[in-house]
């Protein structure tokens, strides 16, 4: 059983981040109507000797996704294109979000950026970022001095 220390600043930081994301993702078009900007949600977790990044990108075509690593920064960008259909019926409500996005994350120094792999299945982009094996702790033998 792991003991997790309660840190109230984490609660406030998460709440502030969520509110900031919601406020920044609200824009207005030329008519003053509120619009949402497409920003995929991302989970980052450590699994043994690797990090796993999963991004929800429903409705984004694989060919419109770009994953890059440059100077220790992982960038995920892409575009969710709006489908235009004209069939004579009026739109009653539209809540779907479209547009370009870019998310960037600073990688830890122990990630081997040459070995990153990507998979795209059912609208979820999964990146596996292996850690370099030489970063593992090394036990140092302690010798005693003989006089």
pLDDT in tens, the chain (147 residues): 556 666 666 666 666 666 665 555 554 444 444 456 678 899 999 999 999 999 999 889 999 999 999 999 999 999 887 766 555 567 666 667 778 899 999 999 989 999 999 999 999 999 999 998 775 677 899 998 875
- 26 lies in which domain range? 7-37
Please state whether the predicted TM-score (pTM) of the whole model is above 0.85.
Answer: no
Q: Which residues contact 108 (CB under 8 A, 6 or more apart)?
A: 51, 131
* Domain presence at residue 47: yes
* Domain presence at residue 131: yes
**Within 13 A of 126's CA, how many CA atoms are on the CB side?**
9
Count of domains observed in the chain: 2
Compute how many other C-beta atoms are within 10 angstroms of the C-beta atom of residue 125.
Answer: 21
* Domain presence at residue 147: no
């Amino acid at each position: 059983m792991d003991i997790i220390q309660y840190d109230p600043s984490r609660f406030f930081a998460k709440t502030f981040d969520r509110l900031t994301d919601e406020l920044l993702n609200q824009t207005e078009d030329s008519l003053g109507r509120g619009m949402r900007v497409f920003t995929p949600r991302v989970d980052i977790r450590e699994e043994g000797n690797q990090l796993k990044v999963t991004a929800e990108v429903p409705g984004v075509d694989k060919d419109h996704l770009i994953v890059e690593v440059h100077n220790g920064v992982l960038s995920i960008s892409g575009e969710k294109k709006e489908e235009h259909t004209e069939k004579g019926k009026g739109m009653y409500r539209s809540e779907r979000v479209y547009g370009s996005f870019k998310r960037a994350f600073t990688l830890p120094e122990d990630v081997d950026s040459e070995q990153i792999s990507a998979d795209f299945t059912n609208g979820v982009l999964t990146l596996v970022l292996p850690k370099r094996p030489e970063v593992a702790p090394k036990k140092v033998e302690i010798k005693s001095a003989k006089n």
